[in-house]
Amino acid sequence: MLANLDFSFYNWNVITGFLLKGLYFSVFLTVVATLGGILFGTLLALMRLSGKKWLDTPAAIYVNGMRSIPLVMVILWFFLLVPFIIGRPIGAEVSAIITFVAFEAAYFSEIMRAGIQSIPRGQVYAGQAVGMTYKQNMTLVILPQAFRNMLPVLLTQTIILFQDTSLVYAIGAYDLLKGFETAGKNFGRPIESYLLAAVVYFVICYALSYLVKRLHKKIAIIR
């Protein structure tokens, strides 16, 4: 079986013609979903920590609901329902971006909530003592420290997010996995393409995980 494998068709022309486009979208989706997810997730975390039931309840329902549903189902729902609601198609790539930002916000929310709660209450009281408002205290004192404390976890979630981008394959978006599949179909070598895709995902994610570990050690030393 292994003797029949042939990877020789993977040359620079195949990489530029099939894979780079998919890699670009996978990376773009990861970056946009991370930034959007952290922004929306931080807002959700603040709502849950506000102490006001009318803010806490809908945020908790959203976060727990999203975290209880498989991502691939959410991808399919957004892809099928959003065009139906707005009355026009939006494309697989746009649908994927909307889905990932909405879905990842639930996970980043819990990370940021833990980060905010990890800050000693004395920091809050100190800010109040010098006359800071709640907004100033949160923006200038609490959130910067929470981001620093949670940075390794945020980056780890981003790596998981990059792996999950392969699920947009279900709606036909042209990601890295789709690029490998297309190349495999064109050259009649699907097994080789899927094997190589697994290797590429492993190398990228392992390298990023190693960098996150190094960063975590540096942050621990600073503390």
Q: What is the pLDDT of residues 186-212, one digit of tens each?
A: 877 888 899 999 999 999 999 999 999
> Mean pLDDT lowest for which of 13-17, 96-100, 207-211?
13-17
At residue 110, the pLDDT reads 95
Residue 17 within a domain: yes
Give the burial string for 61-82 (b: 16+ CB within 10 Å, else e).
Answer: ebbeebeeeebeebbbebbeeb
Whether 145 is in a domain gets the answer yes
Contact yes or no for 136/182 (Cβ under 8 A):
no
> pLDDT-based confidence at 159, cuts 50/70/90?
very high
The answer to the question of residue 6 being in a domain is: no
* pTM for this prediction: 0.90
In a domain, 3, yes or no: no
Biggest alpha carbon–alpha carbon distance for the chain: 73
User: Does 71 map to a domain?
Assistant: yes
| CATH classification at residue 203 | 1.10.3720.10
Confidence grade of residue 126 (pLDDT, cut at 50, 70, 90): confident
Asked if 15 and 143 count as a contact pair (C-beta separation under 8 A), the reply is: no
pLDDT mean over 148-167: 93
Task: Quote the domain boundaries for residue 158.
Answer: 11-222
**Total domains, the chain:** 1
Within-domain flag for 2? no
Would 144 be classed as within a structural domain? yes
Q: How far is CA 214 from the centre of its chain?
A: 20
